[in-house]
Amino acid sequence: MKRVRNYREETKAYWAMVLPGLLIYLVVMAFPIILSAVLSVSDYSGGKMFRGEPWGYNGFQAYISLFKDPWFWNALKNNMYIVLVSVFGQLPLGFIFAYFIYAKLVKAPNFWQGILYVPNIISVIVVGLLWQTIFSPHGPIAEVMNTINRNQFQSQLKALFASSGGYAPTKEIAAKILQMVGPTGEAMFSDPVPELAELLASYNGQPFQAVLDGLTNLFAPRWTPTFLSQNNVAMLPILFVILWMYTGMYMVLFLANMQKIDSQIIEAARIDGASEGQVMRHIILPSLSGTIVNSAILAISGSLSSFSLVYSMTGGGPSRVTEILAIYMYNKAFLGRPNFPLANAISLIMVLISFLLIVLTKVAEKRFGGREE
């Protein structure tokens, strides 16, 4: 009787501890996923979900129209780029930085640890707006490129005037300048050569630098980030910012777990003649296999929900070239005429992709990973 009573008490204690967490999981995670799956095959069009306008089953029309939409595949492709950069960029770099700091292969390791982790303590929206400004036509990159273009153009003008025996507002000089700047310069005038010669003559009596500045402001090429709207390069700035921002987080995770490894094992391996690469491969990596898998799961889940950063950098992606699944779902659910079944279908696909990638990660760990001490 005493053993039965103890078993009942243990069961009650077990459920008393598990039940609150289980209820929270069902309400916060399981119920929304199930409801999203139901709505994705419904004809729900908004309003009160219960006791409102009746809605019913609509089959898989949302999924069919989704798979026919080329913008869905574009958003999925962009998300896969983010997953690849996160798993094969952030994790390896975070591990390498952590090992350099752990093994004290760099000077001032605490300084580098702080510098690499700083992006994680800044608001995602602030980071997105900051880098949007950096890549904008009026940002620091544009200023540097325009300064380079300006100096190069002035050097070409000086060489042109020097080869012509000095500054002279002639039609020959005007023709050479137009030839140097190309069709862009000719498009500024209705009759290019005479009008430019007349403009050059207006500088008579002014300092030579004023001539150079005036012609530079008129003709020097200006840098513009319009190339970033092209399909093949539009995601590169976003991928760079994601790599820059989150690598420090994984560095801290790896570093914290490296510090749990018995230092005597590593010292013994080095005494036996093991190189840094052998220590990393045969001691550090097997000891961190569980941490690597958990970090990969974090990277995958974060990659599929990286809404704030991409939205703040692109302003919602008006060109849609940099659209990801989260923004695609947001646009379908809240902009224009909402399509709730389609938006829920997108969210369910995101969950399934995340689950599939996590399963593949666990399979890879069992196949290639070591055992964490």
pLDDT at 169 over 80: no
- My answer on whether 280 and 299 are in the same domain is yes
Predicted local distance difference test score (pLDDT) of residue 373: 46
Query: What is the C-alpha to C-alpha distance for residues 59 and 118, in angstroms, rounded to an integer?
Result: 48
**Boundary residue ending a domain (168, 189, 219):** 219
- My answer on whether 129 and 184 are in the same domain is no
- My answer on whether 256 and 121 are in the same domain is yes
If we measure between CA atoms, which residue out of 50, 87, 147, 2 comes closest to residue 364?
87
pLDDT at 183 over 60: yes
Mean pLDDT of 198-224: 81
Number of domains in the chain: 2
372 pLDDT band, cuts 50/70/90, is very low
Considering the chain, what is the average pLDDT of its residues? Answer: 84
Predicted local distance difference test score (pLDDT) of residue 3: 58
Residue 252 in domain: yes
Tokens of 95: 């591990």
- My answer on whether 176 and 301 are in the same domain is no
- My answer on whether 118 and 153 are in the same domain is no
Range picked from 37-41, 227-231, 362-366 for highest mean pLDDT: 37-41
Mean pLDDT of 296-318: 82
Residue 9 in domain: no
**Boundary residue ending a domain (174, 189, 219):** 219
Neighbours of 238 (CB within 10 A): 25
pLDDT at 117 over 50: yes
- My answer on whether 335 and 194 are in the same domain is no
Mean pLDDT of 200-212: 80
- My answer on whether 350 and 262 are in the same domain is yes
Query: What is the C-alpha to C-alpha distance for residues 229 and 132, in angstroms, rounded to an integer?
Result: 13
User: Rounded to whole angstroms, what are the CA distances from 53 to 56, 140, 232, 332, 335?
Assistant: 10, 54, 45, 21, 21
Residue 118 in domain: yes
Predicted local distance difference test score (pLDDT) of residue 2: 54
- My answer on whether 132 and 204 are in the same domain is no
Instruction: Provide the CA 62 distance to its chain's centre, in angstroms.
Output: 28
Range picked from 35-44, 84-93, 214-223 for highest mean pLDDT: 84-93
**Boundary residue ending a domain (219, 254, 282):** 219
Mean pLDDT of 316-333: 81
Q: Which domain holds residue 322?
A: 69-136+230-368
- My answer on whether 205 and 281 are in the same domain is no
pLDDT at 181 over 60: yes
CATH code at position 357: 1.10.3720.10
Predicted local distance difference test score (pLDDT) of residue 1: 53
Reported pTM: 0.79
Residue 52 in domain: no
Residue 98 in domain: yes
pLDDT at 137 over 50: yes
The least confident of 12-16, 157-161, 183-187 is: 183-187
More confident residue, 185 or 178: 178
Residue 308 in domain: yes
- My answer on whether 124 and 243 are in the same domain is yes
- My answer on whether 307 and 195 are in the same domain is no
- My answer on whether 316 and 200 are in the same domain is no
Burial of 244: CB neighbours in 10 Å, binned 0-12, 13-18, 19+: middle
pLDDT at 371 over 70: no
Residue 201 in domain: yes
